[in-house]
Structure 1
Amino acid sequence: MHWRHWHDLPPPELPAFFANTLPAAIDNLRAHHEPLAAALRRLRSVVSSLGRLEPGALATLTDWLVEQPFETPNDRRRLLAEFDTFLDHASSRQTGPFRTPACIDELLVALAAPAPGERLYDPCFGFAGILTAACQRVQQADRKGFARQAAPALEIAGVEIHPEAFAVGLARLVLAGVTRPQLELGNSLERESAANPQKEGFDVVACNPPWGARLEPRGLDHFPVRTTDSSALFVQHALAQLRPDGRAVIVVPQGLLFQSGRMAALRKWLLEHHRVDAVISVPEGAFLPVTGIRAALLVLRRNGGLTRRIRMVDGAAWFEPRKGREPARIQPEQIEALAAAVREARPSEAAWDVNAESLADFDHDLTPVRRDRTALQEILASLERELPVAPLKDVCRIMAGVQVKADLLVDRPVGDEPVAYVRIGDIQHGEASKATSWLTPEAASELGPRHRLRTGQVLVCRSGTIGKAGVVRNGAVGGVAANGLFVLEPDVSRLDPHFLAAYINSRECRAWLEAKAGGAVIKSLKKQFVEALPAPLPPLLVQHRVAADVREHGVDALTQLLLLLTRDEDDPLAQWMDRGQLLLEEAGGGKDVDASQVVRLRVFGAAFDPVRAWVSPENEDRPLLPWARRLIGVADLFRGSEEVPRGPALLSLLQQGLRELSAAAAAIAGHTPMEARAREFTGECAARLEQATRSLLEDVRVVVQPRTESLPAGERTTVAFRVHNEGPLPLRNFHFNSQEGFFPARPVFLPERSQQTLTAEVQAPPRTGRHSLVIEWTAMSLDGTTHAGQQEVAFAVQTAAAAEPEVELGLSPYFVSQPVGPERSDVFFGREKVLEQIKRQIQSGNTVLLEGNRRAGKSSILRHLEGPDPIPGWLAVYSSFQGATGDNRTAGMPTETVWRLLAQ
């Protein structure tokens, strides 16, 4: 049945045609030797479902298709671009599970590098993003491309389980020029490996399989590593479908790289039976708006033999920095650069090699983090001439905490000898001196003396806040450590407990432990790495001095040890950085109103004065003098900035501060521990300013309200809209529109916290009643980021006569005056009974609603109830909601508005 025979059917006949006639014609296609016809036959259910659409919608769709040119490859590519634009604007909830961001598709293809004549397979092709990107890449390299009647330069194959996604993917491939796609509708995981991989296998498998799904184990016996996790199964399936030495590029959730159990068994199997060429971390937000889960890319080869070397890649080095809530993106030239870094023989800072054999100590953890070098090892190496350094296991007994079920814990001491259960949160300021949970007597009786905590032991967090340490004291003595903790019992003749806790809490030591921890969301630390932690062993007197300085002044233990050993403990730069670090940590890293305040007002406030005094000719030979001079400019810039309001002036101040801090960091030339510390601390201050800058730029709030409530039915009317920019910064290129209106095309500038009135022509429907209009707006913030939003507004559609302009009736007949208060009781009488009734109801805890005509005295009654005396035991406050703004999205007043008015 040809298109020309049915495209002009009358609209009433189209639903039956799509529901019955066209599916029957599809069933009759001769699909035995024609892959495209076979793929079309699998669309029967999708086509028949179109019969449920309204005749008008089907007619509009077919009329639009009639007008589109399909004759040339360029015509089809143009339609593919329009189709993709439509999908971009569709709901991410509907399309997200079947789409990968286009830049990720292109990155996968660049890593897979399909060549003309090869066979490429996607076992869950969805909307065929990867397959289409592969076709387009090979088209550019092969002049024959995919023109009709030409031999295909790349054989395309795929499986998809969802019929609707199958239809979209097939359409995109056809528009891309693929005429013989080998596509199947079904579950690819039920497809077993080819009997003859050399002949039937694929050269390349590239896919982004569904994450986090748990499948029924029935029918999965053919997988080498038994699991029900969908990602792990697709990794095995991809390798099974390859030819020997075929390559696969697969998107996996980061948990697959480090989780224990079956995931660890899968990683071991990959390393021992295949070849893991590369693991590439993808920055957070790369898969937005569908998911914010962090992911990685695996580059594998089938039967490549025992994996010996793995190229680990930090993909964030090639991605653009995220702007607000937008997804992380990578540009085409950076895609090629990243792919080249994977294949390049020489490693680089962001693409390094790991000996696969060394990963056995980490449970074959494939997370791309550097474990080969840390600042701690470099610092301790420089100290070995001054003092001995030993692994912690040589000077400590290390034990794990105890797992106790929640029903065996209580929130208060029980019995004559209560046993505390010390958790991670009970470690504060380098001490574990109290608990918030206790064991029941039954649970305490089951734990012997060897589990009880003793004075001088040190607790170290093994999960969550890795490396947080505290000395057991007071209320924690005799308690039991939770399973999230390690218990360290140092040899006190060589290692002071307070020094040990302070050392483990030092920045570089925590960073060392963090690098050894596994996990993406909640990291955990294995005992073997705590045992291997290198510990400096200065004389006990020096250890006591360092511990006291940490306790009294909040300095960093390792930095203080370095200063003591170099007889430079009074260096004001080190003291200022330690004090500043403490201020930053106390302020926390949450989304405060202004994350920069601690930097502007405290770090560079009075605390900076010793640094200012240190900058003098007598320190001319000190390597950090240029850095300190630059910081004086930063301190001068921020002086008095507490008076700068949240708005453009603050944004300018923050941006200038970032430039000054960048210049200060660039003035640090060396790599000594102090210089490295200065560089790191400067970066931490800059990060706070950057966070505050982003908070300002992302605070975009626009409210659009019509200034009229009614429209004449069936007519086009000019309507005034009040546009309120409630945000702290101006917006440029503001434009608002609606599918039902004729809105101004010229974008406007919206100053911060201001209102403008803009007009637009609105076409009212012919029927009277309530009519809602969805207003869509776009605007650009000062950093060039485009923001968008929508808002529903409602009108009462009335007959033309009812909607005529209001007639001016002159002055109000009501006499307006202030309410009569208690001070004018001479003119306020006759309300005593009402007042007594109200007082009784209020004292009983009831709510009272006063109803009455205008000027009936309701406000005066309320005024007579004000204060602490009229109603015994109550403080009555008068608050008027006159002039309050209602909610923009629904009827009523927002709760926060009510409380704000009450506070006034």
Structure 2
Amino acid sequence: MTLSELQAKIKSASDKMRADDNTKNALKYLEQLTWLLFLKVFDSLEENREMVAEIDDTVYKPLIEDEYRWGTWARDSKLSGDDLIDFVTDDLLPYLRELSGSSRAERFAAIFAEVRTVMKSGYSLKEVIAIVDSIDFHALDNHHSMSVIYEWLLAQTADAGWSGEFYTPRPVVETMVRCVNPKLGEKVYDPCCGSAGFLVASAEHIAPSTKTTEQREQFNSGTIYGQESGEIAALVGTMNLILHGVEDPQIIRRNTLEQDIRNVNPSDQVDVILTNPPFGGNENPQVQQNFPSKAAATELLFLQHCMAKLRDGGRSAIVLPDGILYRTETAFSTVRRRLINEFNVTAIVRLPTGVFPAAADIRTNLIFFAKSGRTESIRYYQVPSPPGKRSYSKTNPLTREVLKGVEHWLVAGEPDEYSWEVSYETLVESGFDLDIPWPNTSQVTGAETAGEQLEELQARLSILSELTETLVKAHAELHDYPLQEAIPIGNFVVETGVRAGGKTPDRFVGVSNSGGLAAFKGKPASDTSRYRELRPGDFVYNPMRVNVGSIALCRREEEAGWVSPDYAVFRLTEDAPFDAEYLLMYLKSEQGRAEIERQSRGAVRRRLYIDGLQRVTVPLPGDAEAWSALISSFASVRRHLRELPVTSVGALAAFEAAVFSPREEPDERTGEANPSLD
């Protein structure tokens, strides 16, 4: 049977179901066709097991009793019309729902627990059954061909509003799988597996390494794991895996977000997670109680689920919307801080719009992380838009060729013009805002990129507006950021900044009144032996101007160096009741400057020495997570404000080029652009 012949059979069956009153729409006929195909394929696998047992002179007991096996009832010429409908509705489906006695039987029963779709006409159903029965699933080529057809069917139903939330373009899936590189012996898991695209691709990636009978058994029943809340989706996903050679996939029908992940048993953790969770959903407060950071956003809850389910040394790749990267509400900020500090976020791939046809306007990212220590740096990659287009689409989809640069950068460390890297210290300075735009955007000013860059400018302005709105809300609800008693910080401050002595300082650093660190522009003294060393994690301030904001925090190695011998350098102890960012924000506030003034000494030029700093009292944050999120909001807004001028200039330059470029007039018949003859 050729692929075209198989496609003709599937189309014929689909046409018959669409003509039936009970299976007119795509969702209904997909469900009906899926469970029929599932039973046919399962019966083929059972026949294979029986033949192997006979050859090995062993006994194999089929899971389904003979009366309910496909080969018995589907080929019974006497069972037709209303009798067929009655048998399927009153006997077959109830029997399948009550299977028990083994984990395999219980999974089978769970698959059929919610299957309800049965065609109204028993005669039409008989014709569909005959078409399905004519497909020989024993032939390997037909297995592969059926998979192609099945994925085509799934793509068609995206228009009907079902599988669009589960269907991830194949190039994206395969790139994620190759970058994560699941292996035989590892548990591969998708918490919202839908049609099982990630699990299928993982199975195809692993299958060539199965050489022995034991390895094949491990592959069939101990490698692929998934959960799915939708009954049709669970059935589709299981069927899809079986069609791709996984005989006993561990797919459970369950609402993943109803699981309490605050204390996950290590035995329930997995090695590899690949997923594309639903975005924009709103979970009820009861479900939110299952998570350390409570939020209504389903994408944030799924991210926390993945973090909890990953075992030590495990790795994950997840599709997430832009909001996850920058939103500064307490839950978002806390989860992002945990992700960076407790996991190794290795890469973030920025996708252009249109990659997911069912959500064409949503900006998405592929986030790769491992449970292998703190993040040191993140490799970013900006997937380019199609040449001359603003976004991808159904008619102009993302291709594997475009994603090759992603794999070269993430796997082999080979950079190109779309890749860049961001250090941990830079992320800390930005308030753990991960929405880092491609730094080369402003350098691309060709007319063909004008629309794309204007859209990027619009997106940047929208993000800035959203972040500012968070601050407006925080200002209106200051009771959400309680302060406790003020305490002297003396016990939590240690003086640092060793003198240069015989060392020759290699970089001199200054502190501006606005509180930033920068290379010292003046000429250092001829005697540099008393200059103080500034290291990451140190505070430095000008004792005579700290009351007007001349204090800074060294966050990364690039800012380190040597400061004036008159400056004070200190750092917080590990047991301090607040972090460095909180202290910096307070000392630069109006209240903090007044406290500094109170503890300064001197009649003419007042100075704040270290002993005076130790007497400064600082109010303790009442809710540390809420305060961290607020401080992140300020840092994020500042970073986006700094980037906005560059983005603006690049977008305007690109548009100016477009204004004077040759016009293309659309063809009145096709709508396609044709070069103007003027």
Residue 888 of structure 1 corresponds to: none
Q: Does structure 1 residue 81 correspond to structure 2 residue 51?
A: no
The TM-score with structure 1 as length reference comes to 0.42
Residue of structure 1 equivalent to 2:84: 14
Tell whether the 8 Å contact from 1:319 to 1:330 is kept in structure 2 after alignment. Answer: no
Rg larger for: 1
Q: For 1:209-608, what aligned pairs fall within 5 Å after superposition?
A: 209-261=277-329, 262-302=331-371, 304-316=372-384, 325-326=393-394, 329-345=397-413, 347-370=415-438, 528=638
Letter in 1 for 2:378: I
How far off its partner does 1:273 sit?
1.6
Aligned counterpart, 2:172: 104
Report the counterpart of residue 509 of structure 2 in structure 1: none
> What is the SS of the residue equivalent to 1:50?
coil
**Secondary structure class of the residue paired with 1:124:** coil
Hey, which of these two has a bigger chunk of helix by percent?
2
Q: Cα deviations across residues 749-790 of structure 1 (Å, max 9, x unaligned)?
A: xxxxxxxxxxxxxxxxxxxxxxxxxxxxxxxx989xxxxxxx
Q: Secondary structure at the match of 1:218?
A: helix
**Structure 2 vs 1, CA of residues 128 and 234 (structure 1 numbering), >3 Å: closer, same or farther?**
same
Residue pair 2:182, 2:206 contacting (<8 A) in 1 also: yes
Tell me how far 1:332 sits from its aligned partner. 3.1
> How has the CA–CA distance of structure 1 residues 265 and 73 changed in structure 2, closer, same or farther, with 3 Å as cutoff?
same
Contact kept, 8 Å, 1:272 with 1:306, in 2: the verdict is yes
Q: Closer, same or farther in 2 for the Cα pair 1:372/1:223, shift >3 Å?
A: farther
Check 1:32–1:374 CA distance in 2 against 1; reply closer, same or farther (3 A cut).
Answer: same
Stretch moving more, 130-139 or 144-153: 144-153
Within 2, Cα distance between the matches of 1:156 and 1:196? 19
Rate the CA distance shift 1:57–1:294 in 2: closer, same or farther, 3 A.
Answer: farther
- Per the TM alignment, residue 82 of structure 1 is displaced from its structure 2 partner at its CA by 1.5
Structure 1 residues 26-50: Cα deviation after superposition (integer angstroms, max 9, x where no partner) = 145345142xx33321133444x13
Counterpart contact for 1:279–1:313, Cα < 8 Å: yes
Secondary structure, counterpart of 1:168 in structure 2: helix
The equivalences for 1:829-848 within 5 A come to none
Aligned with 1:367: secondary structure? Answer: coil
Shift of 1:357: 1.9
Q: 1:526 to 1:62 in 2, by over 3 A?
A: closer
What are the superposed Cα offsets for residues 699-722 of structure 1, whole Å, 9 maximum, x if unpaired?
Answer: 6xxxxxxxxxxxxxxxxxxxxxxx
Question: What is the CA-CA distance between 1:329 and the residue it aligns to?
Answer: 3.5
Contact 1:321-1:328 within 8 A present in 2 as well:
no
**Cα distance in 1, alignment partners of residues 662 and 190 from structure 2:** 40
Query: How far does the alpha carbon of each residue in 1:336-392 deviate from its partner, in whole angstroms, 9 at most, with x for none?
Result: 5412311334544322111122223322111231469988xxxxxxxxxxxxxxxxx
| Structure 2 CA distance for aligned equivalents of residues 224 and 135 of structure 1 | 32
CA shift for structure 1 position 152: 3.6
DSSP 3-state at the match of 2:288: coil
> Is the alpha carbon distance of 1:182 and 1:288 closer, same or farther for their aligned partners in structure 2, counting shifts above 3 Å?
same
Superposition deviation, residue 52 in structure 1: 5.2
- Give the direction of change, closer, same or farther, for the CA distance of 1:62–1:371 in structure 2 (3 Å limit): same
Partner of 2:121: 54
Cα-to-partner distance string for 1:681-706 (whole Å, 9 max, x where unaligned): 9954664588954x726x6xxxxxxx
CA, structure 1 residues 194+229, in 2 after alignment: closer, same or farther (shift >3 Å)?
A: closer
- Distance in structure 2 (CA, Å) of the matches to 1:18 and 1:319: 53
Is the contact made by 2:262 and 2:291 (CA closer than 8 Å) also made in structure 1? no
Separation of aligned partners in 2, 1:180 and 1:319? 44
Residue 688 to residue 354, structure 1, CA distance change in 2 (3 Å): same
Contact 1:108 1:249 survives alignment (8 Å):
yes
Contact 1:283 1:328 survives alignment (8 Å) = no
- Give the CA deviation at 1:172: 0.6
Superposed, 1:802-821 pairs within 5 Å as none
Q: Deviations over 1:773-819 (max 9, x none)?
A: xxxxxxxx989xxxxxxxxxxxxxxxxxxxxxxxxxxxxxxxxxxxx
How big is each residue's C-alpha offset from its partner over 1:587-621, in whole Å with a ceiling of 9 and x where there is no partner? xxxxxxxxxxxxxxxxxxxxxxxxxxxxxxxxxxx
**Structure 2, gaps ≥5 residues long:** 1-67, 444-467, 474-632
SS of aligned partner of 2:168:
coil
Hey, what does 1:70 align to over in structure 2? 137
Q: Render the CA deviation track for 1:542-599: whole Å, top value 9, x for unaligned.
A: xxxxxxxxxxxxxxxx9xxxxxxxxxxxxxxxxxxxxxxxxxx9xxxxxxxxxxxxxx
Query: For the structure 1 residues 25 and 534, does the alpha-carbon distance in structure 2 shift closer, same or farther, using more than 3 Å as the test?
Result: closer
User: Which residue of 2 is the match for residue 185 of structure 1?
Assistant: 253
Q: Per the alignment, do residues 138 and 273 of structure 1 end up closer, same or farther by CA in structure 2, a change over 3 Å counting?
A: same
Contact 2:360–2:393, Cα closer than 8 Å, also in 1: no
Distance (whole Å) between structure 1 residues aligned to residue 265 and residue 427 of structure 2 = 30
Alignment equivalent of 1:128, drawn from 193, 196, 210: 196
| In structure 1, distance between residues paired with 2:206 and 2:119 | 40
* Structure 1 residue 529 displacement after superposition: 5.3
Mapped to 2, the partners of 1:153 and 1:340 lie a distance apart of 33
Q: Is the 8 A contact 1:117 1:153 kept in 2?
A: no
- CA distance in 2: counterparts of 1:534 and 1:319, whole angstroms: 25
Distance 1:318 1:188 in 2: 36
State how far apart, in whole Å, the 2-side matches of 1:534 and 1:122 are.
38
1:133–1:328 Cα change, 3 Å: farther
1:24 correspondence with 2:91: no
CA shift at 1:192, angstroms?
Answer: 3.8
CA–CA distance in 2 between the matches of 1:41 and 1:169?
A: 15
Task: Tell me how many residue pairs correspond in the alignment.
Answer: 419
Q: CA contact under 8 A between 2:190 and 2:226: conserved in structure 1?
A: yes
Structure 1 gaps, min length 5: 376-399, 405-522, 536-557, 559-584, 586-676, 700-724, 730-780, 784-904
Q: Distance in 2 between matches of 1:73 and 1:181?
A: 19
Question: Whose RCO is larger (CA < 8 A, sep 6+)?
Answer: 2
Q: 1:94 aligns with which of 149, 162, 178?
A: 162
Q: Paired residue for 1:205?
A: 273
One-letter identity of the residue aligned with 2:108: L
For the residue of structure 2 that corresponds to 1:70, the secondary structure is coil
Contact 1:148–1:179 (CA<8 Å) still a contact in 2? no
Judged with a 3 Å threshold, the aligned counterparts in structure 2 of structure 1 residues 728 and 176 are, in CA distance, closer, same or farther, namely closer
> In structure 2, the residue corresponding to 1:226 is in which secondary structure?
coil
Q: Residue 85 of structure 2 aligns to a residue in which SS?
A: helix
Query: Could you say which residue in structure 2 is the equivalent of 1:571?
Result: none
Provide, for residues 801-847 of structure 1, a one-character-per-residue CA deviation record: whole Å limited to 9, x for no partner: xxxxxxxxxxxxxxxxxxxxxxxxxxxxxxxxxxxxxxxxxxxxxxx
Provide the residue aligned with 2:20 in structure 1: none
Query: Is 1:171–2:239 an aligned residue pair?
Result: yes
Describe the shift of the 1:256–1:54 C-alpha distance in structure 2 as closer, same or farther (beyond 3 A). same
Partners in 1 of 2:249 and 2:190 — Cα distance? 12
Counterpart CA distance in 2 for 1:527 and 1:41 is: 52
1:274-316 Cα shifts (integer Å, max 9, x gaps): 12111111111000134421101110112x2221211111122
> Is the alpha carbon distance of 1:80 and 1:313 closer, same or farther for their aligned partners in structure 2, counting shifts above 3 Å?
same
Secondary structure of 1:126's counterpart equals coil
User: Identical aligned pairs, as a percentage?
Assistant: 23
Root mean square deviation of aligned Cα? 4.1
Letter in 1 for 2:189: Y
| 2:97–2:113 CA contact under 8 A, matched in 1 | no
TM-score (norm 2): 0.54
| Residue 696 (str. 1) matches residue 666 (str. 2) | yes
